[in-house]
Amino acid sequence: IQEIQTQWIEFIQNQKPKASHDYVILPVPETRKGYELVMVTNDADVGPWLSQFNPKLPPFSRLQRWYHLNQIPRSPLGKVLS
């Protein structure tokens, strides 16, 4: 997951160099596959960029869904809070 997160950050920085959005990729339990990868972000315009990014990944690594939050809750150390 960390590798996909790094690839995404590099990709989006090339597309939107001045953007300062927050992106988190998480595994979510899924009955048939075991898990699926989803993105949580404060970037409301991420959908079209995901359409360009996903084909570059193997099928099992593709981001299945994304959720928009105004702010991703984080601890003072920057860890995502549940």
CA separation, residue 38 to residues 17, 62, 76, 82 (Å)? 23, 9, 24, 15
pLDDT at 17: 81
pLDDT by residue (tens digit) across 30-63? 999 899 999 999 999 999 999 999 999 999 899 9
For tokens 């992106």, the residue is: 23
**14 CB-near residues (< 8 Å, 6+ apart):** none
pLDDT at 50: 95
> What percent of the chain is modeled with pLDDT above 90?
84
Q: Band of the pLDDT at 16, cuts 50, 70, 90? A: confident
User: Distance between alpha carbon 46 and the CA centroid of its chain, in Å?
Assistant: 9
pLDDT at 80: 92
